[in-house]
Structure 1
Amino acid sequence: KYIDEYSVDKTTGLKNKTVTTQTELNLEKISEDEALDGYYLIVTSETQLSLSEVISKYRGLWRIEESFRITKTDLKGRPVFVRTREHIEAHFLTCFISLTMLRMLELRLKHQYSGRKIIDGLNSAMATELSKDIYSLNKRESVVDELDKILGIKFDSRYVRIEDLNRYHSKILKSMYTTP
């Protein structure tokens, strides 16, 4: 970007396309860029938007980029080991629904936890079947305790019946579709 290459005739010192190549720094380009050091430049084709609208849209891009990252890594959006179009679409629909639910949980938790921490916390909330109707609840992360408070469930008992787990499940699903 800052280096110009050209050929010079050794006898005349003039630029020539057929002789040895010389390299020199383009100090003018360096100066132009230095004048803008520390500033962000946003180039847009959206001429109808105000400056504040353009900046607002730009600032929102990180959420989109983060969503792609979460979908690819945390929700296992890639690599996809399915072949048919229907299976691929179903896989990505599942990832999209998971991302939507994750974003809803982030909102309910008032962005106190990152998406990764919510996923890790939910993965830590395990129940082990002891008998046909009784489960033992295993250790879990603090994010699950916060979800307990927000969703109004009691998931902090050591043992729980299957009916209670089913009731918690229904309560969680209902609360996901109501405003906090």
Structure 2
Amino acid sequence: MQMGLLLDADGLPLDYGLFPGNVNDMSTMLPMMSKARLRDLGGERVVVVADKGLNTSANIAAATLGGNGFVFSQSVRKARGGLKEWVLDPEGYAASPSGDFRVKSRVADKPVYVEGPGGGRRRVLVPVREVAFWSRDYFERSRAERAKVVEKSRAAIERGDMSGVVSRSAARYARDRPVVRATGEAADHNWVLDEARIARDEAMDGYCCIVTSEQEWTEREVIEAYRGLSRIGESFRVLKSTLDARPVYVWTEPHIRAHFLVCYVALLVMRLMQLDVERSTGSRPSAGAVAEALRNMTGHHLDSNVWLFDYRTDLTDALCEAVGVDLSRRVMTKAQMNAVMSAVKKPRS
């Protein structure tokens, strides 16, 4: 089972969908967009932001249908039509004062392939803005990750273990150079480190490309919109850890759907609390901090009608202020607690 999640610009969940675990990610966007259009989103223009896994012709066509837009990551390694050369060309980049960031952009036509009236595919050019940037942080992270893979490839070559999973993952940079025997027997496998592939991948370290329908946006606006995708990853981490969405201990479809519905509602409530605290304090607490604060806000029974609340922090004060309740008293009676609960149940204006 996999989950598709839609967030708004503030990181608030808008909707979700469940798909079988063997469904390709690129095919989940259209059902999610169709579902979102059935809901009342205020009739506003929607700009879909997604990673390169969803950068397909069908998704671009769907995103632009009805006057909507898109911001998609574009693979540099697999780019065609001179895009890779343009991204890697140092000409045209504007560098930050520190030199840790460089960016450039251009207007271009992106070819997409859509279903024609007769059922065949036809090529359509979509006007887009391409934004390329180089980041030192991204560069260093890519180099560090590659060093680990290169070391695994070198170790696999030394062991001579190139079968199964090893040859597909750990030995990514191992190349088979068969040795043909003059006797006509089967060639021996002579695995060596693929230095050429390593060099090709290193040349792209630190570079990223974004393609968008929003030609009027500045380079900064496009990059900031794309960086907002981190909220999606963070939301899934919250679902899996803080809200215990995984592992799932039920197995019938109705129970599985009910489980994820509860998790989705809990995520929405969590995000609303974080947003309220951010608006009042200027700082957004983590989901883990909010969960810990709520977990510790418990009362200890002192007497038949008296309870002690001895856990109070700046975060608990901000949470109480956000919902308009006063839990500043350390000792409360049942009547006082009932009054607080009554205030909580009243609709917020």
Question: What TM-score do the two structures reach when normalised by structure 1?
Answer: 0.73
Q: 2:277 aligns with which of 109, 115, 124?
A: 109
Give, as a single letter, the amino acid of the residue that structure 2 aligns with 1:159.
V
Shift of 1:17: 8.5
Q: Give the CA deviation at 1:33.
A: 1.5
Query: Hey, what does 2:328 align to over in structure 1?
Result: 156
**Count of aligned pairs:** 171
Amino acid at match of 1:144: T
Cα offset, 1:166, TM superposition: 3.4
1:128 aligns with: 300
Q: Report what 2:55 is aligned to.
A: none
Partner of 1:4: 175
1:51-70 map, 5 Å: 55-56=223-224, 58-70=226-238
Equivalent residues of 1:126, 1:140 under 8 A apart: no
Q: Which residue of 2 aligns with 1:93?
A: 261
Cα gap change, 1:82 to 1:5, in 2 (>3 Å): closer
Bigger relative contact order, structure 1 or 2 (CA pairs below 8 A, ≥6 apart): 2
| Aligned equivalents of 2:202, 2:285: Cα separation in 1 | 39
Secondary structure, aligned partner of 2:191: strand
SS in 2 for 1:70: helix
Is the 8 Å Cα contact of residues 309 and 329 (structure 2) preserved in structure 1?
A: yes
Report what 2:314 is aligned to. 142
- Partner AA of 1:98 in structure 2: A
Tell me if the contact between 1:7 and 1:17 (Cα under 8 Å) persists in the aligned partners: no
Give distance in 1, aligned partners of 2:248 and 2:188.
52
| 1:119 correspondence with 2:269 | no
Report how far residue 97 of structure 1 moved: 1.4
Shift of 1:103: 0.2
Shifted more, 50-59 versus 114-123: the winner is 50-59
| 92-101 vs 54-63, greater mean Cα deviation | 54-63
3-state SS, counterpart of residue 21 of structure 1: coil
TM-score by length of 2: 0.41
Aligned to 1:20: 188
Moved more, 85-94 or 155-164: 85-94
| In 1, Cα distance between equivalents of 2:318 and 2:250 | 36
The 8 Å contact of residues 134 and 161 in structure 1, kept in 2 or not, is answered as yes
RMSD of aligned C-alpha atoms?
3.3
The change in CA–CA distance for 1:124 and 1:8 in structure 2 (over 3 A counts) is: same
Residue 74 (str. 1) matches residue 242 (str. 2)? yes
Q: Aligned equivalents of 1:84 and 1:34: distance in 2?
A: 47
Structure 1 Cα separation of the partners of residues 234 and 345 of structure 2:
25
Q: Is contact 2:178-2:189 (8 Å) kept?
A: yes
Bigger proportion of residues as strand: 2
Instruction: Structure 2: state its 5+ residue gaps.
Output: 1-171
Contact 2:273–2:322 under 8 Å retained in 1: no
User: In 2, are the aligned partners of 1:125 and 1:141 still within 8 Å (CA)?
Assistant: no
Question: CA–CA distance in 1 between the matches of 2:185 and 2:176?
Answer: 10
Change (3 A) 1:94 1:20: closer
CA drift of 1:34 comes to 1.9
- TM-superposed deviation, 1:49: 6.1
Q: Which of 193, 197, 204 is residue 36 of structure 1 equivalent to?
A: 204
The answer (yes or no) to whether the contact 1:9–1:19 under 8 Å persists in 2 is: yes
Alpha-carbon distance in structure 1 between the residues aligned to 2:194 and 2:340:
68
Match of 2:340 among 168, 171, 174: 168
Once residues 173 and 100 of structure 1 are traced to their aligned partners in structure 2, the CA distance between those partners, rounded to angstroms, is 18
Q: Sort the Cα spacing of 1:76 and 1:18 in 2 relative to 1 into closer, same or farther, 3 A.
A: same
Once the two structures are TM-superposed, the CA of residue 170 in structure 1 deviates from its matched residue by 4.3
Identity, % of aligned pairs? 32
Q: Judging changes above 3 Å, is the alpha-carbon distance between structure 1 residues 19 and 85 closer, same or farther for their aligned structure 2 residues?
A: closer
Higher-helix-fraction structure: 1
Deviations 1:13-47 (A, max 9, x none): xxx992222233333322222211222356xxx77
CA distance in 2, matches of 1:107, 1:31: 45
Cα offset, 1:99, TM superposition: 0.9
